[in-house]
A and B are shown apart, each in its own frame.
Chain A
Amino acid sequence: MAKSSPVKKAGRSLTWLGVLVVVMVGGLAASVFFSNATWLPKLGLDLQGGTQIILQPVITTGQKVQQQQLDQAVSIIRQRIDASGISESQISTEGANNIVVSIPGTPSAATLNQIQSSAKLDFRPVLVAGAPSTSTVGADGKSTPAPTPDPNLQSTPSVKPTNDSDLAYVTPLLQAQYEAFNCKSPAANSTNVAPANQPLITCESDDSVKYILGPVEVPGQDISNATASLVQSSSGVSTGQWGVNIVFNGAGTAKFATVTTRLNGLTGSQNQFAIVLDGKVISAPATQAVITDGKPQITGNFTQASAQTLADQLKFGALPFSFQQLSRDTISATLGSSQLASGLLAGLIGLVLVVIYTLFQYRLLGLVTVTSLVVAALLTFLAISLMSWHYGYRLSLAGVAGLIVAIGFTADSFIVYFERIRDELRDGRGLESAVEAGWKRAQRTIYASKSTNMLAAIILYVLAAANVKGFAFTLGLTTIIDVLVVVLFTHPTLQLLAKTRFFNSGNAWSGLDPAALGAVYRGAAQFREPVGARRGTIASSSKEAAKRQTIAERKAAELVSSGSSDRKTDGKDS
């Protein structure tokens, strides 16, 4: 026997749902066994506790920390943490100087470094580059350690430098300091405080080259965006190396064009352009062309992770200063497990009430709602577990509340759908065609309304910070699952149920009983149409409504219902 098309379609939808569940379970199982995932979703700071780090700014003596700088640092650190996942960390100031960062779980060294390093990026021209040795090789072939610079040496250029690449910057004092400069000394690691309009002695980040650099040509503030990507060679083939692509704002683009124009005409070390991050040169490429579009690429010894980290750091701006860890403690949850347990238990009781109510309202059809909710719950659980492994998603108390509200949103899809089917039955359609026609109408409404939720989720996820981002994520996730469930489970199930005798015969317990739905009276609607608008008062019960119907009206209604075959009724465009 050939299967009818709705049944075939229903079978296909249910198969897809099955495939989806199997893939998600498989994915989760694989990541549990082969990676560090867990079966259960990870919990947020408020429910599980985490690590509290107190950061102290690294400042030179006499420098004072302004409140405004501290607030700015908090904001930048928050953006950096948000960029790496949806962990709902808490960042605030403590006392006059410190910043407290509370992160759920145990943060990795990379995460810590990303939070606390200043990420001050400057572009400086190279004046002198050489081996990182601190000794000079004399004419006799013997090397002698460079002497400690004599402070009496000339420290101001004898000729005013004409541009930032002018070697006149290299005064005898600077030359002596350069020769004595030890890349491995502690001092070399804190040179990022050199004034922007002065030359800087520093080293390559792996200490392989020692430099004297000119004043800052393009400051990091002029960066408007940064992304990480694989570097491509001039022929467009990927080199397998990671780089950071920088986009300058207008001012940065103009400055960068001027500098590359000048450097392009120079030779030797002076042709090089140093990219300085927190005082260390991450790379000093030779200038091969004039860059006028303001989009240089930084290459160096990047991995995908370090390129991404640097891109994020550059995008959100440099911290006003670098930080060091003052303390690092494990902290407990503020809410504790008892709160979560009572919340979940209360939610469960609420859910049981929902089940009772839907069964009461929709009879056996209510079971479809309940199973659909169970399927939605399963998908949500799997998705959240996967997300907490892959994106560092953490379930906070607000997240749990969001999931509970999602029950309402999800159930509404079914309610809208069932009500449309009932409307079609009231119009006198058979069950199978009512299911199809009702679905067609309900579908539009469901997509339109879920789109507003999706819009809210996407915009808030992109634009908002911290907790709001977590909320947006939960909303988006549950909306997607909601639509998936109604399309791949609820509708196909109803298509199949419509075939069964129980439902098709309009059993009173099916919830889709045409008699109960007043399908036989359908003609009455046409006669009684203007009734709503003519009434001056609100009818408060059906008894009252019936009372208001005149005998003549009632008789006429019966007449119409028995005689009319007009299927066109209220508010229908079919």
Chain B
Amino acid sequence: MASRLTRFGNDLYTGARSYDFVAKRRIWYTIAIVMVIASILIPIVKGGFNFSIEFRGGSQFQITNVSTTAQGPAQKAVASVVPNAVALVTSVNNNGVQVQTNQLTAAQSAQVGDALAKAYNVSTKEVTSSFIGPTWGADVTQQSIQGLIVFLLLAFVAMALYFRTWKMSAAAIISLFHDLIITAGIYALVGFEISPATMIGFLTILGYSLYDTVVVFDKIRENSRQELNLTRRTFAESVNLAVNQTLVRSINTAVVAALPVASILFIGAYVFGAATLRDISLALLIGILVGTYSTIFLAAPMYAHFRQGEPEIRKHDIRVRATRPKAATTTSVAVPAE
């Protein structure tokens, strides 16, 4: 009666079924490096990220004495002059409309002004234009980056204290950067605008990635605490077992976290046409999937890798291999960790 995933979980728990996350780390490293390089190259090739008006500032049009404050005519008017511009439309005091677009040239500006006047059926005198500065200015970015750096440093120290090894911190932070870079790369590939909402999405990913890694690392800590006194597994094998034992949790959590986000992305943005939801939910969806992936395929193997050179671990591994000469007859002994 057990569901397939339950049985799958049982096998993973006992080790009856096991995936070589740790031993095959070269493959995962290669994939990670290729993905990261691609994610750095994509924005360069595509000419940088597409930052929204909140970051760059832009042109603002103020239309007064209008009879309707509907947003539609303004969007159409802007699109008729600059087809790919994003227009933010706000109504002012019930008799005015304010339209913000990306920075336009003087000629475009004049054309948009005329189009807007026509769209709202007012004389061109009622339309004024000006330059609007960024609401997410350099000072906000700078403060946020400062906050992030402080957070990463403290998180590094806190994890090192909790797990009693800085190597877990290092593995967790490296995979965190991996996640962020790949998410940004995919984002650049899709070409969506980077808005403040996207930035918040990136921050959420950062939290999720680290969170997911800590959960799995805690299982590794739990397992390896006593493994070193036994001769059942090499260190790398015990790390691998812990990852396998938490695999069902990783899958379940990723599915549960991703379902609402995916629903917002596909149903909210595409079916209902809530475009702004698109930015943040895309960032979140990619982040959740990449974050879960990197904990298993990158952070855990890296951690085993970082520690295998330690004298204590090496001695332990030699002892373990010495106890299993007969095992070598069933299949060839692949050295689990060199």
Contacts and interface: CB of A to CB of B under 8 A. Distances in A.
Interface string B142-154: 0110111011001
A75 B131 contact: no
B9 interface: yes
Nearest to B266: A346
Interface stretch (B38-46, B110-118, B178-186, B236-244): B236-244
Given A94-B131, A516-B1, A570-B15, A452 B158 contact: yes
Interface string B310-338: 00000000000000100100111110100
B23 to A, nearest CB: 6
A397 B276 contact: yes
A93 B223 contact: no
Interface stretch (B77-85, B90-98, B101-109): B90-98
A64 interface: no
Interface stretch (A133-141, A172-180, A263-271, A458-466): A458-466
B154 to A, nearest CB: 6
B276 A339 contact: yes
B10 interface: yes
B218 A444 contact: yes
Given A349-B263, A397-B280, A415-B256, A334 B10 contact: no
Nearest to B334: A536
Given A94-B131, A350-B264, A471-B203, A463 B147 contact: yes
Interface residues of B, number: 125
B237 A530 contact: yes
Contacts of A453: 207, 211
A459 B146 CA distance: 10
B7 A345 contact: no
A206 interface: no
Contact of B2 (A71, A513, A539): A513
Interface stretch (A244-252, A352-360, A380-388): A352-360
A532 B241 contact: yes
A401 B207 CA distance: 14
Contacts of A533: 18, 20, 23, 233-234, 236-237, 240, 334, 336
Interface in A326-377: 329-336, 338-339, 342-343, 345-347, 349-351, 353-354, 357-358, 360-361
A438 to B, nearest CB: 12
A350 B263 CA distance: 5
Nearest to B243: A532
Contacts of B14: 426, 518, 521-522, 524-525, 528, 569-570
Q: What does DSSP make chain A's interface, helix, strand, loop or mixed? A: helix
A19 interface: no
Interface string B4-25: 1111111101111111100110
Interface in B137-169: 137-140, 143-144, 146-148, 150-151, 154-155, 158-159, 162
Interface string B205-240: 011101100110011001101110000111011101
Contacts of B236: 533
B88 interface: yes
A347 B260 contact: yes
Contacts of B200: 398, 401-402, 467-468, 471
B90 A529 contact: no
A528 to B, nearest CB: 5
A316 to B, nearest CB: 12
A108 to B, nearest CB: 19
A187 to B, nearest CB: 32
Q: What does DSSP make chain B's interface, helix, strand, loop or mixed? A: helix
Given A351-B260, A463-B146, A539-B17, A343 B135 contact: no
B135 A91 contact: yes
B133 A92 contact: yes
Contacts of A529: 15, 232-233
Interface residues of A, number: 109
Interface string A552-574: 00000000000000000111110
Contacts of B154: 455, 459
Given A329-B93, A343-B268, A532-B20, A465 B197 contact: no
A416 B215 contact: yes
Interface stretch (B29-37, B119-127, B245-253): B245-253
Contacts of A570: 13-15, 223, 241, 245
Interface of A: 46, 49, 52, 70-71, 74-75, 78, 90-95, 100, 329-336, 338-339, 342-343, 345-347, 349-351, 353-354, 357-358, 360-361, 397-398, 401-402, 404-405, 407-409, 411-412, 415-416, 419, 422-423, 426, 441, 444-445, 448-453, 455-456, 459-460, 462-468, 471, 475, 508, 513, 515-518, 521-522, 524-525, 528-539, 542, 545, 549-550, 569-573
